[in-house]
Amino acid sequence: MIKRVLNGQFLNTQTENITKASFILGAAYLLSGVLGLVRDGLLAGRFGAGSDLDVYYAAFRIPDFISMVLIMGSISAAIIPIFSEYLVRSKEEAWKFFSNLLNLFLFSLIIICLILIVFTPQLISLIVPGFSAAQKETAVFLTRIMFLSPILLGISNVISGVLLVFKRFLVTSLSPILYNLGIIIGILFFVPKLGVKGLGWGVVLGGALHLLIQLPVLFSLGFKVNRIFNFSEPGFLKTIKLTIPRAFGLAVSQINLIAVTVIGSTLAAGSIAVFNFANNFQGLPITFIAVSFSTAAFPFLAQYYSQKNREKLVEEFSNVFRQILFLIIPLSVLIFVLRAQIVRIILGRGKFGWFDTRLTAACLGVFALSIFAYGLSLLISKTFYAFQNTKIPAIISSFCVFLNIGLSILFVWLSSFENIFRIYVVDFLDLGGLKDISVVGLPLAFSLSGIVQFILLLFFLYKKIGDFKSKEIFDFFIRIFLAGLLMGIASYITLYYISGFVNMQTFIGLFIQAGSAGFLGIIVYILFSLLIDLKDLRTITFSIFKKFRRNGQ
């Protein structure tokens, strides 16, 4: 193993099985997520949920818009099926297509970012109307620094798409880890010297590390830099054709986050930070489970579609769907039940006070209700992309984003004064004694619109390919829901029982309380799952290890 790492073979590892690939991605995403929690803990301890972090997250929004719209979803969704088609015909043609795409994409990204750098002051004024002049000035500076990040991440994610075609899941999964490491380095070493502006340089460093780790593997596969610069090349035109609907859907989705930032800038100081902290927490199980499984399945689903093998495609979709459900439901339940403990353990230090903890925990609890929907929506969307159909997910996403914005405005308004809605929210999320809970309306809107999006995607997938073993999936969901419900009850009872034996004001006490409740809950979940359907659940859980062991021989 050590020799393989030293000579570069380890990063060049090829994975031929969806389940094994999912576990490689999942393990890396979990590590990346843990580093993300460390990052958030450092941010919370140094800055608290206040105006400085509001400025940072607001400044991050526009570069992130470029990254998400043009890079992480749209291009990767197009490049995998198209590069695969070229590769079937000729490896040489495939590399020429990729070189041309890379050159044109880099050129376009640089032009777009330069234009946006010029107009950054106007953009910042639009998305944070509630900020002071000093906050806006700092946000402009940070945003201009972080515009280097989309260029680096853009090239890196285009490369990731090609590496996934060659089933190099390991190296692509390590990139996000290095991205978070770069930001952590920025917090630890740049911020003490530069203040909040050091966070921007940390983001840039993370983008550079994200790219650099993938370059050696790309060149080892036969890629050579080529000066092709052809806008009329058929493959490039087809990529643009597939990218536009997906980019449109992602653009609307990012507009959604920008709208949240606009609304958050008019609320109490720290509202943007509280929302982002909670959103990052709920993103961990989605990334660890749903992103890893759907990313691993995507190249295989695209291959089955190209081979017109509908039976195999439906079988793999159904299996992955149920695997995601089996893993994501218990994590969602634990996040909801242990939300306050999670936030206090990770963020509860330094300038992050009890008021910040309660609001962040409430937002996290609301997010937990829709984690399953957002996770499964990723798999369904990837299935549409495997069909080279980016229009349906884009249209549904657009509709749900506008729904989300409308609900956000409504719920924030309803949360701002005494009424039945506010009373119910306060009781459900244990927010008694807090005067301003308006920020809770934002994740509530996200959750409801996410569930609507999941239902619509599932419906149109059924219309597209017919029955995908829907009865088996529905029966499985009911069993998993019951198991998750019992798990939540067991964890909740344990949580309050343990509180009488530990010091709740210490890290150790909180950790013992949360760990005990989580452990017992998981035991109940597994035992009840095996009781209600031994054969089905054993197939899903133990086949993972069998396949992994078989492919590792």
Give pLDDT, residue 75.
61
Inside any domain, residue 296: yes
306 token code pair? 């190209």
The DSSP code for 291 is: I
479 and 518 share one domain: yes
Give pLDDT, residue 119.
94
State the Cα–Cα distance between residues 293 and 68, nearest whole angstrom: 20
Inside any domain, residue 105: yes
Residues 317 and 383: beta-carbon distance below 8 Å: yes
Give pLDDT, residue 276.
87
Inside any domain, residue 549: yes
Range of the domain at 244: 16-468
531 and 445 share one domain: no
392 and 519 share one domain: no
199 and 77 share one domain: yes
Give pLDDT, residue 20.
65
489 and 503 share one domain: yes
**Quick one: which H or E segment has residue 236?**
helix 234-265
368 and 407 share one domain: yes
pLDDT in tens, the chain (553 residues): 434 433 445 565 555 555 566 667 667 777 887 888 888 888 888 888 778 888 988 888 888 888 777 665 556 667 777 888 888 888 888 899 999 988 998 898 899 999 999 999 999 998 888 888 999 999 999 999 999 998 998 889 889 888 888 878 788 888 888 998 999 999 999 999 988 889 999 999 999 999 999 999 999 998 988 888 888 888 888 888 777 766 776 677 777 778 888 888 888 888 888 998 898 888 888 887 888 788 778 777 877 777 777 778 888 888 888 888 998 999 999 999 999 999 988 887 777 888 888 999 999 999 999 999 999 998 998 888 887 777 888 889 889 988 999 999 999 999 989 999 999 999 998 888 888 899 999 999 999 999 999 999 999 988 887 777 778 888 888 888 899 999 999 999 999 888 888 787 788 888 899 999 999 999 999 888 877 764 555 555 554 444 444 444 3
Inside any domain, residue 225: yes
18 token code pair? 């969806």
Give pLDDT, residue 15.
56
Inside any domain, residue 9: no
Q: Which amino acid is at 504?
A: M
**pTM for this one?**
0.75
475 and 389 share one domain: no
Where among 468, 499, 524 does a domain terminate? 468
Where among 468, 488, 512 does a domain terminate? 468
Query: How far, in Å, are 14, 306, 321 from residue 302 at the CA level?
Result: 18, 6, 16
Give exposure, 15-47, as e/b (b: 16+ Cβ within 10 Å): bebbbbbbbbbbebbbbbbebbbbbbbbbbebb
Can you tell me whether residue 499 is helix, strand or coil?
A: coil
Inside any domain, residue 341: yes
User: Rounded to 5 degrees, what are φ and ψ at 358?
Assistant: -65, -45
Give pLDDT, residue 12.
58
Inside any domain, residue 377: yes
482 and 463 share one domain: no
User: Rounded to 5 degrees, what are φ and ψ at 308?
Assistant: 60, 35
Where among 436, 468, 500 does a domain terminate? 468
Q: How many domains does the chain have?
A: 2
129 and 198 share one domain: yes
354 and 473 share one domain: no
State the Cα–Cα distance between residues 489 and 333, nearest whole angstrom: 10
Nearest to 145 by CA among 205, 95, 87, 91: 205
Inside any domain, residue 11: no
424 and 486 share one domain: no
State the Cα–Cα distance between residues 175 and 25, nearest whole angstrom: 11
294 and 154 share one domain: yes
State the Cα–Cα distance between residues 171 and 238, nearest whole angstrom: 27
Query: How far, in Å, are 78, 228, 241, 303 from residue 237 at the CA level?
Result: 11, 15, 6, 21
